[in-house]
């Protein structure tokens, strides 16, 4: 009787099958997660917009005018928008999605 040689490695077809399976799972995951991230960003911006407009109204109630410099005026007046960072380097990055109209005292999305 001949002994069957032992197998210490995967065959090429097994490796290709594993790569195909991993690729399919990766594509499915990415296509599911990408829209969720976009929706989460939109929801976060809506919350920030609501906070900013509420603080602009509070500023007007306290000072009888709209904040002349938007968020900067509100921070200087002691109204801290919790969703917006106070650090100037982070502030510019966060506010790039918003525009402020000083005549109306309203923030809106760009």
At residue 21, the pLDDT reads 97
At residue 69, the pLDDT reads 84
Q: What is the pLDDT of residues 72-82, one digit of tens each?
A: 888 888 877 67
Q: Is residue 35 part of a domain?
A: yes
Q: Is residue 66 part of a domain?
A: yes
pTM (predicted TM-score) = 0.64
Cα–Cα distance between 59 and 55 in angstroms, integer?
6
Residues of the chain falling short of pLDDT 50: none
Which residue range forms the structural domain that includes residue 86? 19-109
66 CB-near residues (< 8 Å, 6+ apart)? 56, 59, 60, 102, 103, 104, 105
Q: Is residue 29 part of a domain?
A: yes
Beta bridge partners of 106: 101
At residue 55, the pLDDT reads 86
Residue 61 token pair: 């109630």
Task: State how far the alpha carbon of 90 is from the alpha carbons of 87, 96, 99, in Å.
Answer: 5, 10, 16
At residue 26, the pLDDT reads 94
Q: Is residue 1 part of a domain?
A: no
CB neighbourhood size of 100 (10 A): 20
Q: Is residue 13 part of a domain?
A: no
Tallying the residues shown for the chain, one arrives at 110
At residue 23, the pLDDT reads 96
Q: Is residue 62 part of a domain?
A: yes
The structural domain count of the chain equals 1
């Amino acid at each position: 009787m001949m002994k069957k040689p032992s197998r210490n490695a995967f065959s090429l077809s097994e490796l290709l099958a594993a790569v195909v399976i991993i690729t399919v799972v990766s594509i499915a995951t990415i296509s599911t997660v990408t829209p969720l991230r976009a929706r989460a960003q939109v929801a976060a911006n809506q919350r920030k917009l609501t906070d900013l407009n509420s603080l602009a109204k509070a500023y007007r109630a306290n000072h009888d005018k709209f904040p002349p410099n938007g968020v900067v005026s509100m921070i200087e007046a002691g109204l801290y928008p919790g969703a917006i960072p106070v650090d100037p380097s982070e502030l510019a990055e966060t506010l790039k999605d918003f525009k402020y109209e000083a005549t109306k005292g309203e923030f809106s999305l760009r």
